Amino acid sequence: MVAHFVALFFTGFIVYTAAPGSSLFSWHPTLMAIAFLLLMFEGLLVFSPISSLVPRQSRATKVTLHWMLQVTSLTCAIGGFAAIYYNKEINNKEHFTSWHGLIGMSAVGYSCMQMLGGSVLKYPTLASILRIKLKLADLKIVHATSGLVSFILVCVSFMLAMFSNWFCKNVTGTTWYACLGCISCILFIIMNQITSTYLPKVKSRKRVAH
């Protein structure tokens, strides 16, 4: 339950600090926090044997919940991306001039690609249409590993955002370090879940292959 509390608390803090509706820019941190720190995080935890909020549900139900949360997450992320893009346009500012902007754009783009990969798993007939020759079990491992890469990009982008003028102006001192700790905690939880779940499967498949 600690994982869910950290994600909910930190997302709430970002939303409170951003004050959505106070400006066009305010929707950028608001929607990005909801998209990645809450929805994507919870979507990944659905499959956790320890932290899932629905541990007794069937695999099919968990897949559906995962899919719904990730689609909603990506929708919010695109909204957050559009808000900051349009905000810079109307203020005649250049785009993607910082590491936060570049990695943030990469995180959103990678998430879109990850969504397409998940669609192949949800609808296996797409694999044959796209002429993907990997077995379903291998595709699951690739999708999970790719998901970890996506979430790492997200967390790195949030860490870089903590050095932005807006964040440093509104969050200082111990609170700033607490926010860094929240992001690190969230990232560690997902890294531990995916590696502990899929790494043994990779090793097992290698032994079978040999």
- Model pLDDT for residues 138-189, shown as the tens digit of each residue: 888 899 999 999 999 999 999 999 999 999 999 999 999 999 999 999 999 9
Q: What is the pTM for the complete model shown? A: 0.93
User: In this structure, is the dihedral angle defined by the CA atoms of residues 73, 78, 84 and 86, taken in order, positive or negative?
Assistant: negative
199: how many CB neighbours lie within 10 A of its CB? 13
Which pLDDT tens digit goes with each residue over 46-88?
999 888 999 999 999 999 999 999 999 999 999 999 999 999 9
As a whole number of angstroms, the distance between CA 143 and CA 114 comes to: 7
Instruction: Write down the pLDDT at residue 207.
Output: 61
Task: Give residues with Cβ within 8 angstroms of 171, minimum separation 6.
Answer: 17, 162, 179
As a whole number of angstroms, the distance between CA 32 and CA 129 comes to: 33
> Do 38 and 8 form a contact (C-beta atoms < 8 A)?
yes
Residue type, 99: W
